[in-house]
Amino acid sequence: MAPSAISVLNKTGIELLMESGAGVAAGFPDSEYIEKGVKVAGSRAEVFRTAEIVLQVRSPGANPETGAGDLDMMRAGQTVIGFGEPLTSPDTARQLATRGVTFYSMELMPRITRAQSMDALSSMATIAGYKAALMAADSLPRMFPMLMTAAGTVAPARVLVIGAGVAGLQAIATARRLGAVVSGYDIRTAVREQIESLGARFVVLQVDGAGAEDKGGYAKAMGEEFYRRQRELLGGVLAEQNVVITTAAVPGRKAPVLITREMAARMAPGSLIVDIAAERGGNCELTCPGETVEFGGVRILGPVNLPSTIPYHASQMYAKNIATFLKYLVKDGKPSVNLEDEIVRETLVTHAGEVVHPRVREIVG
């Protein structure tokens, strides 16, 4: 919760209890919460012991630092809402069910009109795409814009963004604002208009991208032959770029490898790859999550948890998403579980001692 989002919950009858110092690193001191009527707890354990509903950013399954400790403090009948990566951390989902926790996963929010204001995945992708372009501009040994100076003309940097989801479109828009010549590529040809509306060139490859999008608007995994052909054609495009920003991810699956070692070797020394799919294994074969790798003069950045590097606005956007969702769930001062409702059904992972989400149940077995 950011202080600005608390007013959304004022008429629900919810009383807020916060871990002391939880907002400090994002620029929100305890005093701002106290002014809004929030009670500040002395410890994290007190929050888990007292709260009927726990709101988190990274819940167990998505939190390698403190997730296991949080899981131990959760109790039967408690509702937990946060990112939990249940499709890739099914064991944690099983443990949440065993403890009797009702868990809602924010990354499973359906992409429907009613849920737009609750779509935290898109909020975080917006920040990741923006920051990826800034990282590229900061790390590239040349400037993004074209400049005409007394010392001669500086040619603009050439930037290719692979993947035109929320993150990719934001990366394109930011790189364009910084003055680069930007191209965008996505297997979904339907996004061509969006890429071109931002002033970027749409890269056309002779591969069949039919069926590359699911009903929720997310990219679907394709066959290996498709990716082989795609890499073959992309290699020539990459060789002309100074910066490549990769954003291709498939929910619940390892990120597809779009850039091989051989493709990276074709790029000019001093070029840069920013792989924001690093946490999912990376779109580049050479990516190491959390590290910068140098290969033949090309640097490959594998940033993780990019939203946390812009904590003020990441918190503000996420707080609006989660407060709107919480208000939607609470009826007469209590959280209700209405499985007839698509938003509830798609985000609910565990309830009443069971894993209830169909896709997660299938993975858990």
Catalytically annotated residue among 78, 89, 95, 122: 122
- Mean pLDDT value of segment 196-202: 97
Please report which residue ranges of the chain form alpha helices under DSSP H.
30-35, 44-50, 67-73, 90-98, 120-139, 166-177, 192-197, 224-238, 261-265, 311-329, 342-347, 358-364
- Identify the burial level of 75 via C-beta atoms within 10 angstroms of its C-beta, where 0-12 means exposed, 13-18 middle and 19 or more buried: exposed
Residue 297 is given by DSSP the state T
Catalytically annotated residue among 30, 177, 218, 341: 218
Distance CA 272, CA 297 (A): 9
Distance CA 119, CA 115 (A): 6
Instruction: Give one DSSP letter per residue of 89-109, joined into a string.
Output: -HHHHHHHHHTT-EEEEGGG-
- Mean pLDDT value of segment 14-30: 96
pLDDT of residue 216: 55
| Nearest alpha carbon to residue 318 among 10, 51, 109 | 109
- Identify the burial level of 113 via C-beta atoms within 10 angstroms of its C-beta, where 0-12 means exposed, 13-18 middle and 19 or more buried: exposed
Provide the CA 184 distance to its chain's centre, in angstroms: 19
**Is pLDDT above 90 for 247?**
yes
pLDDT of residue 231: 80
pLDDT of residue 16: 95
Q: Is 33 a catalytic residue?
A: no
Catalytically annotated residue among 4, 30, 44, 111: 111
pLDDT of residue 233: 83
Q: Is 122 a catalytic residue?
A: yes
Which tokens sit at 252? 């619940």
Containing 43, the helix (H) or strand (E) segment is none
**Is pLDDT above 90 for 249?**
no
pLDDT of residue 250: 83
Instruction: Give one DSSP letter per residue of 9-36, joined into a string.
Output: GGGGTPPPEEETTTTGGGT--HHHHHHT
Summary mean pLDDT of the chain: 93
**Is pLDDT above 60 for 108?**
yes
**Is pLDDT above 60 for 27?**
yes
- Mean pLDDT value of segment 117-137: 97
pLDDT of residue 12: 86
308-347 tens-digit pLDDT: 999 999 999 999 999 999 999 998 878 889 999 999 999 9
| Nearest alpha carbon to residue 26 among 311, 284, 322, 276 | 311
Catalytically annotated residue among 78, 94, 119, 316: 119
**Is pLDDT above 60 for 114?**
yes
What domains can you pick out in the chain, each with its CATH number? Answer: 3-118+311-364 (3.40.50.720), 122-309 (3.40.50.720)
Q: Is 130 a catalytic residue?
A: no
Q: What angle, rounded to 10 degrees, do the helices at 166-177 and 120-139 form?
A: 40
pLDDT of residue 141: 97
Containing 208, the helix (H) or strand (E) segment is none
Q: Is 119 a catalytic residue?
A: yes
pLDDT of residue 215: 54
Distance CA 5, CA 14 (A): 13
Residue 194, SS3?
helix
Provide the CA 147 distance to its chain's centre, in angstroms: 34
Look at 65 and 202; give whichever has higher pLDDT: 202
pLDDT of residue 210: 54
Nearest-5° Cα angle at 208, 202 to 212: 80
Confidence band (pLDDT; 50, 70, 90) for 301?
A: very high
Instruction: Find the range with the poorest average confidence among 42-51, 112-121, 197-206, 228-237.
Output: 228-237
- Mean pLDDT value of segment 30-44: 95
Distance CA 252, CA 11 (A): 36
Provide the CA 129 distance to its chain's centre, in angstroms: 9
pLDDT of residue 238: 95
202-223 tens-digit pLDDT: 998 876 655 555 555 555 566 6
pLDDT of residue 365: 85
